[in-house]
Amino acid sequence: MTVIRAASLQPRPWANGLGISRNIAQHGEGVCGFGWLIATADLTEDAAFSDYQGIDRIFTIIEGQGATLTLEGSGAIRCRPFVPASFPGDLPTFCTLDGIPGRAFNLMLDRARWRGNVTARSLAAGHPVPLQATAIHCLAGSLAVGEDVLAAGDTAMPAGRVTMAAQGGTAMVLVIDVAPAG
């Protein structure tokens, strides 16, 4: 299993230069240089999202009060904390924050080659959960994944089935599953 610590993530500008993201992991080649990509994004102000041709996005508010995504020609998506929202990354999209700045978790997938899912879970100590996932991202609390312990912002990339369990209270996590399309 690979563990990516939050402290090791390097800030980088969005493709359109209007924000900052931190890439956690990516796999393969694709239309935008990756098959799939997971990253966090700082949401400091209302802004247009970068254009990702051929990419499907799953966007999850992980800090802040929420946001509204306005997709050109397709209406709006109301985004609440910890509720993943899917949309095509090649539609012009504008993000309007609900008040305070926040942070989002993104799973981006080359739609011709990959499918994915993001699920938010709250875990209580003493209740281990066995699972198989592409990635497990700790949002809050302390989380044991196999033999490793994650703090908020850390991500585990299991190589097979693992057991995750909150340590000393509760933990909030995102479970990310990615599989080939078709």
CA 69 to chain centre: 16
**Local confidence pLDDT in tens for the 182 residues of the chain:** 999 999 999 999 988 888 899 999 999 887 788 999 999 999 999 999 999 999 999 999 999 999 999 999 999 999 999 999 999 999 999 999 998 899 999 999 999 999 999 999 999 998 999 999 999 999 999 999 999 999 999 999 998 999 999 998 999 999 999 999 98
* Homologous superfamily of 2-112: Jelly Rolls (2.60.120.10)
Q: Indicate the fold that domain 116-180 takes in CATH.
A: Jelly Rolls (2.60.120)
Identical fold for domains 2-112 and 116-180, yes or no, is yes
pTM above 0.75, yes or no: yes
Distance CA 13, CA 110 (A): 21
Neighbouring C-beta atoms of residue 133, cutoff 10 Å? 21
Going by C-alpha positions, the residue among 100, 90, 86, 92 that lies closest to residue 43 is 100
Note the pLDDT of residue 118.
98
Note the pLDDT of residue 30.
77
The structural domains of the chain, with segments of one domain joined by +, span 2-112, 116-180
Please compute Rg for the chain using Cα positions: 16
Tokens of 95: 């993000």
Phi and psi of 164, rounded to 5°? -115, 145
